């Protein structure tokens, strides 16, 4: 079985995949991106490529060469950047609640402003006020208060310095549409029907560019489908792995 690598969303950590990966056997890697899950904030200038190089080193340390790489939200940005920098190592691609386009300037400016506050005041309050409400779908907020509370706690626990660095890195990420247009591997695009941060229209745009992509829209879920609908995400990933290995 080809190894599977899953990269987490902002501002969470690898624990977000616990329910998705329960029934996966063989080689599986869910690394924490630098700054999250107890890892140190990078010293380098903020860039998604710093995350990519960290993941490549993790693969080297684990003795893994070609992998199916995937990620949610920021993890998806990192997976696409990995395809750009390490194309030979990519056997398959999973993009979950993410988008290929770069930030427009108003969005990038908002990230920079939030990063400044978090860095100067050492607080995650901006994340709780602006990011957290958009992470989950309206159905989850209304019907699953225990999950909403758990995600809120995870957001609150995010290290402010790491979150600020990540926001600056995401603000300068390049457009990944050209990368998706030339990567000829089995691919999966998953999106929650209620995702307002990376809506279904963004998922449809990525699927249209991919040469061998499957699009899965999950009802009653928002931006964190691996937490809101882990069984559906796991099922889609298993289909992708069968396509890669078959």
Report the pLDDT value the prediction gives residue 246, as an integer from 0 to 100: 87
Topology (CATH level 3) of domain 4-101+174-245: Rossmann fold (3.40.50)
What is the token pair recorded at 236? 């889609």
The predicted pLDDT at position 68 comes to 97
Helix ranges (H only) for the chain are 48-62, 74-85, 105-121, 125-126, 132-135, 138-143, 145-157, 160-171, 177-182, 200-209, 225-228, 230-245
Domain ranges of the chain: 4-101+174-245
Task: Collapse the DSSP code of 216 into the 3-class scheme (helix H, G, I; strand E, B; otherwise coil) and give the result.
Answer: strand
Cβ–Cβ under 8 Å, residues 226 and 99? no
Rounded Cα distance, 106 and 140, in Å: 28
> Would you give the DSSP letter of residue 223?
S
Q: Note down pLDDT in tens along the chain; length 246 residues.
A: 899 999 999 999 999 999 998 777 768 999 999 999 999 999 999 999 999 999 999 999 999 999 999 999 999 999 999 999 999 999 999 999 999 999 999 999 999 999 999 999 999 999 999 999 999 999 999 999 999 999 999 999 999 999 999 999 999 999 999 999 999 999 999 999 999 999 999 999 999 999 999 999 999 999 999 999 999 999 999 999 999 998
Please state, in angstroms and rounded to a whole number, the distance separating the CA atoms of residues 2 and 28. 9
Structure tokens of 7?
């990269």
Per-residue pLDDT, 151: 98
């Amino acid at each position: 079985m080809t190894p599977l690598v899953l990269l987490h969303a902002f501002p969470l950590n690898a624990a977000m995949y616990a329910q998705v990966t329960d029934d996966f056997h063989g080689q599986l890697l869910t690394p924490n991106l630098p700054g999250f899950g107890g890892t140190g904030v990078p010293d380098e200038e903020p860039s998604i490529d710093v995350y990519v190089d960290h993941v490549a080193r993790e693969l080297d340390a684990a003795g893994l060469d070609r992998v199916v790489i995937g990620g949610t939200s920021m993890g998806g940005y990192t997976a696409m950047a990995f395809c750009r920098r390490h194309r030979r190592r990519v056997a398959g691609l999973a993009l979950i609640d993410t988008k290929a386009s770069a930030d427009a300037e108003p969005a990038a400016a908002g990230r920079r402003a939030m990063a400044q506050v978090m860095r100067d005041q050492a607080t995650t309050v901006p994340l709780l006020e602006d990011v957290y409400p958009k992470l989950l779908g309206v159905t989850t907020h209304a019907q699953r208060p225990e999950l909403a509370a758990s995600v809120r706690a995870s957001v609150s626990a995010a290290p402010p310095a790491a979150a600020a660095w990540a926001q600056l890195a995401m603000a300068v990420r390049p457009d990944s549409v050209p990368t998706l247009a030339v990567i000829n591997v089995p691919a999966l695009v998953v999106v929650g029907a209620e995702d307002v941060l990376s809506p279904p229209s963004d998922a449809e745009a990525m699927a249209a560019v991919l040469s061998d992509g499957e699009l899965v829209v999950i009802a009653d879920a928002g931006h964190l489908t691996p937490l809101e609908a882990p069984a559906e995400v796991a099922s889609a990933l298993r289909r992708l792995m069968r396509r890669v290995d078959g």
